[in-house]
Amino acid sequence: MQARRLPARQGIVWVVAGYRLFRANPPLLTLLAFLYLMAFTVMLLLPAGVGGVLFPVLQPMLVLAIANGCRGIAATGRRGPPPDLLAGIRTRRRELLKLGALQLAGSLLVMLLMFAFGIKPDTEKPDQLLSALALAAALSLPLLLAFWFAPLLTGWHELPPLKSVFFSLVACLRNWRAFVVYAFALAAITLLATTLAVFAVQISENFGQIVAKVVEVLMIIFLLPIFLAGSYISYRDIFTTAVASTND
């Protein structure tokens, strides 16, 4: 398996192609994004930190199901048959659970390292809070990159979990420029929406609350699906022959 090296501008292509994939079938991608958020919320509500353990373990299956939806939309659009969301999950369930266990172990390691540095994420002091967030981001970044493509490589390419993690990390590092552009583009869109809500609150508190709710809903039904679609597009560009273009 070989990961292609793409130019930095491909990060913009992922956002644009993600939007066009979303536009091809908004109901399905919005539903998948909503179900992902619901699964995350439900698991967080479970007692005694059970959800904090279950979500990392089950997340690879959720990610693969969403990727199956994106692949189906890319192949057939809205008018085609419903995509098989369980492709790769039925036959690779055990390996995906092992991958989830690796992700849980990585998350626990990040938490242990944070405590080792003596920084508590629940601190109320602004300067310490910023330091905690910066440290958490720095420690979590390798984990994010290692598992960015891993569910798809395990489910679709039938790689062992450890090998999937390795190839995912290598692929992301080879394309770090494109991922930086991709992250900044998504952050700019999110910042623009947030700024609009804050500006509305300054004009009128009641009106601002309405705008804030609208922005929150748009984040769920618009930005999150585009992010999920862009994640699939990045896999398609890096690990397959065809490179997505803004004309997809």
Q: In this prediction, what percent of the chain has a pLDDT beyond 90?
A: 58
Identify the domain containing residue 139 by its residue range: 10-239
HSE-up of 218 (CA within 13 Å, CB side)?
A: 13
Whether 2 maps to a domain, the answer reads: no
- State pTM to two decimals: 0.87
Mean pLDDT of 65-91: 89
Closest CA to 102 of 57, 44, 61: 57
41 Rama sector, left if φ>0, alpha if ψ -120 to 50, beta otherwise: alpha
What per-residue confidence (pLDDT) applies to 48? 64
Closest CA to 29 of 242, 225, 248: 225
d(CA 230, CA 95): 25
Count structural domains, the chain: 1
pLDDT tens per residue across span 145-171: 999 999 999 999 999 999 999 999 999
Residue 160: partners with Cβ closer than 8 Å, 6 or more residues away: 95, 154
pLDDT tens per residue across span 87-124: 999 999 999 999 999 999 999 998 888 888 776 655 56
Whether 248 maps to a domain, the answer reads: no
Whether 245 maps to a domain, the answer reads: no
Whether 225 maps to a domain, the answer reads: yes
Amino acid letter for position 180? V
Q: In this prediction, what percent of the chain has a pLDDT beyond 70?
A: 85
Whether 4 maps to a domain, the answer reads: no
Count Cβ neighbours within 10 Å for each residue of 165-181 and write b for 16 or more, e otherwise. bebbbbbbebbeebbeb
pLDDT tens per residue across span 177-235: 999 999 999 999 888 877 876 776 667 666 656 766 777 777 777 888 999 999 999 99
Whether 135 maps to a domain, the answer reads: yes
Whether 174 maps to a domain, the answer reads: yes
Whether 170 maps to a domain, the answer reads: yes
Torsion of CA 170, 99, 1, 77, to 10 degrees: -100
